[in-house]
Structure 1
Amino acid sequence: MKLTCYILILFTVLASSCTKEFLEEDPRTFLTPGNFYKTEADLQMGLNGVYRTPQDRYSNMWGAPCWFGWATDLGYLTPANGHAFHNQPAHLRADFNPASDMPWNMWDYIYRHVKDINFLLAAVDVVDAPAAAKTSIAAQARAWRAHLYFDGVRIFGALPLILEPVSDVKALNSLTRTPAAQVYEQIIKDLEFGIASLPNTYTAAADKGRITAGACAAMLARVYITMAGYPLRQTDKWEKARVLLKEFVDDKKYGAQYNLWPEYSQAFADANIQGGQEAVWTVNFTRGTFGQGSQVHTDFSPIELYYDSRAGLTRGGGWSNELPTEAFLASYNQARDKRYTFTYWRSTADLPTEYAAINNSAGGPVVFAAPHIKKFRETSPNDNSQGSGLDHYIIRYADVLLMYAEAINETNGANAANYVNLVRRRAGLDDLPAMSQTQLRDHLLLERAWELCFEGERRFELMRTGTYYSRVKAWNPQAGANIVQNKHELWPVPQREIDINSNLLPNNPGY
């Protein structure tokens, strides 16, 4: 669903600083959710606005594609970046605290979009429109709400659970933090509604990229395996995940359209992401100016290209915001794993056709100070002065297969390695040897890293497996020097939120 224009509906909660005269104005003169939504077309317009939600999380917030790769075993922040906004969380310095900007940016992102979704859902209940259309709109909106709260509960732990439109400032400023287990239960309800209400596929070309029943099922499986791990340790959720993933992979309950592309590189071709056979849940972007297209490619692209007069931003330069750790690079079978070859580059000589003019010029190839990530490059044309039109995966089928293997392994089932081997064979690797449950568990942490690196989930994978502290300490010198166990697993609740609502205290441990 390439939305070339998003209609953003602003549901503004007026702050207490408004003047008395303004508050006494006739409210009918202002655009509000209550007086905007009148028809089915209005509801669809609101839903299109909701689909903009993940563009912030995966692209448009400053350096957002790297937020959950920094301070992990896979990625670190380039030393060329001197901004405190990025350095505080990447280094896990003491000045990463409740007053830091990044936690507030994430908190604000979650609740701005939850607010819009809740107003849309309230309107669905009252607008005169066909029941099927209303159900579909509500299911898609609730799936995005589940996505928002899933991020929120994994980042902050307990946080306010708001399910109705709230415009009263006093009510908003008296909310308390809902226990994490209760937040998860609502996430499950929203995703189950999507599974029951949405189709497996859409027939209209304009609907490509919309959330499907399969997308909700895959996300629910991710939720279950997260709940089974740290910190909730609800181990009964492993069986729920296994059943759900069996229906997805073996029984084809959500359609037979899902499969791996024959080559790893094909999974990241522009034409193959949205609506492609590996796409389960995606973020849609439209090529254009900053704020419209994706900044994923620019965040990962080499700063050496940006500063080279022969290249610059328009020839693939970027900010080098996340680089692979040496330990992670060393973990690959570099000679055989196709994922290694496709994911990284060290100079323009690695792309001889695209950079022939530079490579053959007097200065020769541009060599980078460290290997860079190129799996998200938009190569035709590769112009980082614009936002990329390359869509981004939230969940792809390779992830589903690896989750299924993990769920089988944790429930003492047989043949878990079969699903890992499907992913490995595509990468050019041999099948796994016989492994114990513990050995396969440890290997899956690596296999998921090789397959899914830098796609936005690594921090949460380390969290749920209870390995966050140990892996960062051993693999990432930048963050490992400062990491504190039982503190840095969560981010702090922002101080500016606590200043207006002390009910959010106590803050997370260590903050």
Structure 2
Amino acid sequence: MIKTKYILLLIMGLSIMGCSDLEEDPIALLSPEGYFKSTADIQAAVDGSLTHAINEEIWGRKLSIALLLRSDMVDLQSDETRRVEMNTHTISGDNEMVYDPWTRIYLGISAANTAIAGADDVVEEDSVKNPVTAQAYFARAFYYFHLVRLFGDVPYFDAPVIDAEAAKSVSNTPEAEVYEKIIADLQFAKTWLPETVASRSIPSKAAASSYLALVYLTMAGNDSGSEYFQMAFNEAKEVINNAGTYNLALDNDFQTLFNAEKIDASLEPIFALDYNNVEAEDNAYDQTAPMTGIRGDDDDQGWSVAVPAMAVYDSFDADDYRRRVSFQTEATIGGVTVDYTEFDISGHEFAANRPYIAKYTRFPGPYAKSNKRATSHNYSMIRYAEVLLIAAEAAVEIGDNASALTYINMVRERARRGGESTNGGYVEEAIPASAVPADLSGTVTVDDVLEERRVELAFEGKRWYDIKRRQLGEEVFGASGYEGAKPDWNSAVDYDTPIPDEELNRMPNVVN
């Protein structure tokens, strides 16, 4: 008979959460020994794992905003201690923006482990069962990849925890070993996942391969001689060469990627967190839009929390269509239409007179509620443009300048196309093609690719991870950085997030 503690863990790991393209059953109420009888049961467990990511504690606010604030592109307009710590890199062990994502990620891992273990009880041919089980391997790798980049050495669980007391004796798994396990999970996923899927929120072969490329790029770090750059290039090239088979392409209009009513038809997302058609249930609450929205704006009544520094806006070429899509420079506040130099007309102490992030407030879709919470957004965790830039960066490092030019210029060419963008009042208008950004020529450098990533992937939760993997902290948080000097930055300790105090107390063998 299954132990009570196992049932409690299962309840936490498979909590029922809303997501339009994932189907869930209340399997947390059943013993796993009696539940897993078919691939449909495995699928239900997988969906329970993946939907943890759209919880407010991960991509609905806590982790997504933390990643923005820790970068060099988003400043803070708030005096909340937990957010100040993120922005200044003075993170304490009791910060809920650390503890909540940590806890939620491990719940997602727990659910994935339960799906994988439960699959052993399902009597089906591998050709039937493994493509579904592979989604659980992908989910586990997805969660651990966030953990290892955030914390470094972390406790690693690859099976359901039956004895909760025994689990307290767990210790940190070295970062290198965690990466080995992530790679093994993604390789299994790549072997068995289908080439195309009904929704980009469902893991595919392209998603596994794309994440493998990013994992290898991350592992290479600053080591220009690392074999991982070649591995990253090979994996990204495989996705690019099979783009037709995988039904992938750059979207013609950059704005579409941030339009909740259009993105479902886009071929660019490879793996996404899908909030579409989710009513305002607490467990699918998305607060990214209000956190980045303008205080007092008649359209969204944002909270003016995470706001780019003025130097960030100025760093974008004025003729680059991506600046228009990424920033909001006009708003109607109290019935008065103003540009960003007068955003403080609301009179709120945190209203900032500078352009705000527009990617999440402009087209949140029909399910956006008050302050544009509970949106209909699909958040691209990895998209085709990033795979091209992974290939470009890796190509630079392995001395393949021709490939680096090809791939970086594909991304720049799309930006030149213009599209149906908006003005500050969210009115769609045709933006004609332009000559900016021009194709690069000559020798591509790592800095060229990192800059392209900074502009192309702005405010998508990527920049902090780039800063860490390339060890850019001393440069970007110095006096010449976009946000000015961050005097508390300490490269000796601040690249890793402190493991929550509560977890250290619960598991005495786990250390920072």
Letter of the 1:98 counterpart = G
Structure 2 residue 480 is the aligned partner of structure 1 residue 493: no
User: Match of 2:68, SS?
Assistant: coil
Aligned match of 2:406: 418
Shift of 1:228: 0.4
* Distance (Å, rounded) in 1 between the aligned partners of 2:21 and 2:62: 23
Aligned match of 2:456: 451
Spell out the pairing of 1:254-293 with structure 2 (5 A cutoff).
255=245, 257-274=247-264, 276-285=266-275, 286-289=277-280, 290-293=282-285
Aligned match of 1:194: 189
* Distance (Å, rounded) in 2 between the aligned partners of 1:9 and 1:62: 27
**C-alpha contact (below 8 Å) 2:328/2:357 kept by paired residues:** yes
Letter of the 1:347 counterpart = E
Spell out the pairing of 1:86-125 with structure 2 (5 A cutoff).
86-93=83-90, 96-125=91-120
Aligned match of 1:2: 20
Letter of the 2:462 counterpart = E
When residues 423 and 102 of structure 1 are mapped into structure 2, their CA distance, relative to the original with a 3 A threshold, is: same
Letter of the 1:422 counterpart = M
2:466 to 461, 465, 476: 461
User: Match of 1:217, SS?
Assistant: helix
**Structure 1 runs, 4 residues or longer, greater than 6 Å off:** 364-367
Structure 2 residue 356 is the aligned partner of structure 1 residue 372: yes
User: Match of 1:481, SS?
Assistant: coil
User: Match of 1:317, SS?
Assistant: coil
Structure 2 residue 211 is the aligned partner of structure 1 residue 219: yes
Cα offsets for 1:16-56 (capped at 9, x unmatched): xxxxxxxxxxxxxx733333334433222222212203213
Structure 2 residue 438 is the aligned partner of structure 1 residue 431: yes
**C-alpha contact (below 8 Å) 1:297/1:384 kept by paired residues:** no
**C-alpha contact (below 8 Å) 2:269/2:384 kept by paired residues:** yes
Letter of the 2:32 counterpart = P
Cα offsets for 1:353-396 (capped at 9, x unmatched): xx997649xxx996762211111232555844241111110011
**C-alpha contact (below 8 Å) 1:323/1:372 kept by paired residues:** yes
Letter of the 1:273 counterpart = I
Aligned match of 2:488: 482
Shift of 1:7: 4.1
Aligned match of 1:67: 66
User: Match of 1:280, SS?
Assistant: strand
Structure 2 residue 75 is the aligned partner of structure 1 residue 85: no
When residues 158 and 383 of structure 1 are mapped into structure 2, their CA distance, relative to the original with a 3 A threshold, is: closer
When residues 208 and 220 of structure 1 are mapped into structure 2, their CA distance, relative to the original with a 3 A threshold, is: closer
**C-alpha contact (below 8 Å) 1:469/1:485 kept by paired residues:** yes
**C-alpha contact (below 8 Å) 1:58/1:456 kept by paired residues:** no
Cα offsets for 1:140-180 (capped at 9, x unmatched): 01101001111111111011111111121232111111111
For structure 1, the residue ranges without an aligned partner over 5 or more in a row are 11-29, 306-310, 350-354
Letter of the 1:297 counterpart = A
When residues 195 and 189 of structure 1 are mapped into structure 2, their CA distance, relative to the original with a 3 A threshold, is: same
**C-alpha contact (below 8 Å) 1:139/1:193 kept by paired residues:** yes
The structure with higher relative contact order (CA 8 Å, sep 6+) is 1
* Distance (Å, rounded) in 1 between the aligned partners of 2:366 and 2:36: 40
* Distance (Å, rounded) in 2 between the aligned partners of 1:479 and 1:303: 26
* Distance (Å, rounded) in 1 between the aligned partners of 2:116 and 2:151: 25
Aligned match of 2:388: 401
Normalising by the residue count of structure 2, what TM-score does the alignment of the two structures yield?
Answer: 0.83
Shift of 1:444: 1.5
* Distance (Å, rounded) in 1 between the aligned partners of 2:302 and 2:288: 10
Letter of the 1:262 counterpart = N
Aligned match of 1:24: none
For structure 2, the residue ranges without an aligned partner over 5 or more in a row are 1-18, 417-435
Aligned match of 1:16: none
* Distance (Å, rounded) in 2 between the aligned partners of 1:155 and 1:344: 27
* Distance (Å, rounded) in 2 between the aligned partners of 1:58 and 1:283: 14
User: Match of 2:67, SS?
Assistant: coil
Letter of the 2:53 counterpart = P
Aligned match of 2:303: 319
Letter of the 1:133 counterpart = V
Cα offsets for 1:426-447 (capped at 9, x unmatched): 222243444445xx21121111
**C-alpha contact (below 8 Å) 1:33/1:120 kept by paired residues:** no
Shift of 1:343: 1.1
Letter of the 1:298 counterpart = P
When residues 149 and 89 of structure 1 are mapped into structure 2, their CA distance, relative to the original with a 3 A threshold, is: same
Aligned match of 1:152: 147
- Percent identity between matched residues is 25
Aligned match of 2:3: none
Cα RMSD of the aligned pairs, angstroms, is 2.7
Aligned match of 2:330: 347
* Distance (Å, rounded) in 1 between the aligned partners of 2:166 and 2:399: 48
When residues 104 and 382 of structure 1 are mapped into structure 2, their CA distance, relative to the original with a 3 A threshold, is: closer
When residues 465 and 254 of structure 1 are mapped into structure 2, their CA distance, relative to the original with a 3 A threshold, is: farther
Shift of 1:120: 1.3
Cα offsets for 1:434-461 (capped at 9, x unmatched): 4445xx2112111111100111121111
Instruction: Give the paired residue count.
Output: 459
Aligned match of 1:308: none
Letter of the 1:2 counterpart = S
Aligned match of 2:160: 165
User: Match of 1:51, SS?
Assistant: helix
Letter of the 1:42 counterpart = D
Structure 2 residue 376 is the aligned partner of structure 1 residue 389: yes
**C-alpha contact (below 8 Å) 1:284/1:391 kept by paired residues:** yes
* Distance (Å, rounded) in 2 between the aligned partners of 1:35 and 1:64: 35
